[in-house]
Amino acid sequence: MKNIFETRLLFWKFEWKGLLFWLTFPLLVTIIIMFAFGAIEEEANVPVGVVLEDDSILAKQLYESIQSTPYVKPFLLDEREAINQLEKQQLDSVFVIQKHFDENIERGRKNNLIKSYSSNLSFTYVPLKELVISYVNGDFTRAQAAFTVEQLYEQYDVENDVNWHELIERSKVIEREQNLLKTSLTFFNSDVVEKGEQSIIDPWTIWVFATFLCTLFIFDWVIKENNKSIQNRLLFSKWSKRYYFALNGLIYTVLMFIIDIVTIIILAIIFNFEITFYLMMTLISYRVTLNMFAFLFSFLFKSVYSFYMISFALLCASLIMSGIIVPIDGLISQFPAIVYFNPFHPVLTINPFNYWFIIAILLCFVSFIREEKQHA
């Protein structure tokens, strides 16, 4: 045991740079991706054309509201130019604020307020339309209310001391001051509470896949040491090949586990998530399963380089299978059995009970028995 550890230290002495790099890589990559993504998400913009055919205050306010919406970058253009740019795909869609916009709203006419142009490559047209509609409908509702109030005064034959614009402003003030109606989303039979703004990616997911790749990369020692020249030397030592590889695998697992814990603590501090008991258990079960898998898998290879390439292919397949590249909820709700084939599903949903763990143990067991027979 002690000897093997010393030999391992000798190996590490020569390759400590690489080892250190791949051990810390999941942490680094998680931080980098999270920040890069945050920056892009913040700066992402949807170019939209706005045509003002009406120069009333109401129309200008509508333009300003669109302008103040995050992610949306409106360009004031004339209609011909806007459509031209839309055809060239320089704009996502175009909204024309029609002539007599404010007049029509004041009179409660719904048609001919806004005209929109979109193409079949307008990816964000639907939410943009919803946005514009919500602004216009706000104006519309306020105008209606103001109209109702004016009617009331007429009905009661009282001199109206507030004019139209004051009424509209008043209802805006009430809306701003009394932001009373809220919505919340919780999940049935689950403690997870939705936390408002949600990023598409979370650090745990990135860490899981970065760790997957790095673990495979680090286990290239199996391939490097599973060759004739080293085997011959092993023959002269007191260790069997089985013992040698199993113990080394254990040493690596312990090392990686220590790094995992440090990584998770750092990530939890930076990204502000809680380290629960379940999370820790999931981490342990993932680490052990992954290491057993990487260990067995690397025995199948003779060349390190093809092992690396296959590792990338596996990573790619797992990303797709877990719905990271394209969300697969729709598919899962139609064919719920899919999740059982995905070894990452329990890990990503933070569930320590992964039956792949048992499969990996069985496989390890079987392969050692086979090894034994070969020696016999």
- The 4-23 contact track toward another protein, x by CB under 8 A, reads --------------x--xx-
Of 3 and 141, CB closest to another protein: 141
The two structure tokens encoding residue 173: 């003030």
Q: Smallest gap, in angstroms, from Cβ of residue 185 to another protein?
A: 5
Select from 2-10, 288-296, 310-318, 353-361 the region that touches another protein (CB under 8 A): 310-318
Are the CB atoms for 86 and 93 separated by under 8 Å? Answer: yes
Tokens representing 12? Answer: 């590490």
Minimum CB distance to another protein smaller for 22 or for 245: 22
Q: Which residue, 3 or 144, is less far from another protein as judged by CB?
A: 144
99 part of the interface to another protein, by CB under 8 A: no
Q: Per the structure block, which two tokens stand in for 99? A: 């002539």
Query: In angstroms, rounded to a whole number, what is the distance separating the alpha carbons of residues 57 and 62?
Result: 9
Q: How far is the CB of 342 from another protein (least distance, A)?
A: 13
Question: Applying CB under 8 A, which of residues 1, 20, 28, 44 lies at the interface with another protein?
Answer: 44
Phi and psi, residue 95, nearest 5°: -120, 125
Structure tokens at 196: 């408002």
User: Do residues 199 and 41 make contact, with C-beta atoms less than 8 angstroms apart?
Assistant: yes
Q: Which of 159, 235, 336, 341 binds another protein (CB under 8 A)?
A: 336
334 binds another protein per the rule CB under 8 A: yes
Closer CB to another protein, residue 281 or residue 319?
319
Residue from 36, 331, 358, 361 touching another protein (CB under 8 A): that is: 331
10 vs 248: CA distance, rounded Å? 13
CB of 20 to another protein, least distance (A): 12
The phi, psi pair for 234, rounded to 5°, reads -60, -30
111 binds another protein (CB under 8 A): yes
What's the min distance (Å) between Cβ of 244 and another protein?
23
Residue type, 17: K
How many CA atoms does the CB half-sphere of 104 hold within 13 Å? Answer: 15
Q: Which helix (H) or strand (E) holds 75?
A: strand 72-76
What is the Cα–Cα distance from 253 to 261, expressed in whole angstroms? 12
Closest CB 352 distance from another protein, rounded Å: 17
Residues 227-266 that bind another protein (CB under 8 A): none
> Least Å distance between CB 154 and another protein?
11
**Near another protein in 161-190, by CB under 8 A:** 167, 170-172, 174-175, 178-190
Q: Are 116 and 93 in contact (CB under 8 A)?
A: yes
Of 229, 272, 333, 374, the residue at the interface with another protein (CB under 8 A) is 333
Give the list of residues 6+ apart from residue 29 with CB closer than 8 angstroms, or none.
206, 210
Positions in 115-144 near another protein (CB under 8 A): 115-121, 123-124, 129-130, 132-134, 136-138, 140-142, 144
Q: Give me the least distance between CB of 99 and another protein, in Å please.
A: 13
**CB 10, min distance to another protein, A:** 20
H or E segment at 49? strand 46-52
Separation between Cα atoms, residue 166 and residue 163, nearest integer Å? 5
Q: Supply the minimum distance, in Å, between the C-beta of residue 362 and another protein.
A: 28
**The tokens of 43 are what?**
């700066």
Q: Is the dihedral of CA 224, 25, 326, 269 positive or negative?
A: positive
Cβ closest to another protein, residue 71 vs residue 365: 71
d(CA 168, CA 161): 14
Query: Is residue 201 part of the contact set for another protein (CB under 8 A)?
Result: no
Q: What are phi and psi of 74, to 5 degrees?
A: -85, 145
Contact string 268-307 vs another protein (x = CB under 8 A): -----------------------------------xxx--
Residue among 323, 345, 346, 360 that touches another protein (CB under 8 A): 323
